[in-house]
Amino acid sequence: MNRLKAAALIAAFAFLVVSVSLPRGVRVPVSATGGAVSKSELSQVVQVDAGDAAELPMAGSGSPVELSVLSVTSDSGLYHSADRMVLTAVVGCSADAEGVTVRATGVSGKMDLEQTVNMTEGNNTVTFDYQLPRCNVCGGIRPGTYPCQVEAAYGDSSSSGSVEVQIE
């Protein structure tokens, strides 16, 4: 059962329990988070179907957004001193979201890049450019295989993926 369905069922159960506990005809609205109900939530009707839960308002942030880093690729598998490395991440997003943080890290802590992007529902491409030092060894990068990780985060949702690159 996904989190959205669980939240819908909990909210419906909480409303039922509160309604049953009060004198007949008196109902107290309960938000999906268990807190006070805002004026905008009062105007919304939530219906819960056992087969498919309706989307519930979530504490002023709209519907929950789920992220999934679907792939991380590099433009080349082999890099040398002064090379430009381009990492491309494909991030799946369950709904439109503004202000998603996407971060690329790796190469023994030498690469640490971050972007704040707006995403649309579906697959989104985020590209990172990293310039290797003119002298890798002088810059603290020894020849070898290095993982490069990309993490996307928005609210309570985060996902990551990685790719390995060879540096000589």
What pLDDT is recorded for position 63?
A: 65
3-state secondary structure of 40: helix
What pLDDT is recorded for position 60?
A: 34
Element (H, E) at 56: none
What pLDDT is recorded for position 139?
A: 84
Dist. CA 3–CA 159, nearest whole Å: 16
What pLDDT is recorded for position 21?
A: 39
Side-chain half-sphere of 70: how many Cα atoms within 13 Å?
A: 11
What pLDDT is recorded for position 75?
A: 97
Mean pLDDT by 10 residues, the chain (168 residues): 46 39 42 45 35 33 84 95 96 96 95 97 97 88 94 96 96
| CATH of region 67-167 | 2.60.40.10
> How distant, in Å, are the alpha carbons of 31, 113, 115 from that of 7?
10, 35, 31
What pLDDT is recorded for position 62?
A: 58
Regarding pTM above 0.85, the answer is: no
Question: Which residue ranges make up each domain of the chain?
Answer: 1-64, 67-167
Written as six digits, the tokens of 11 are: 């909210």
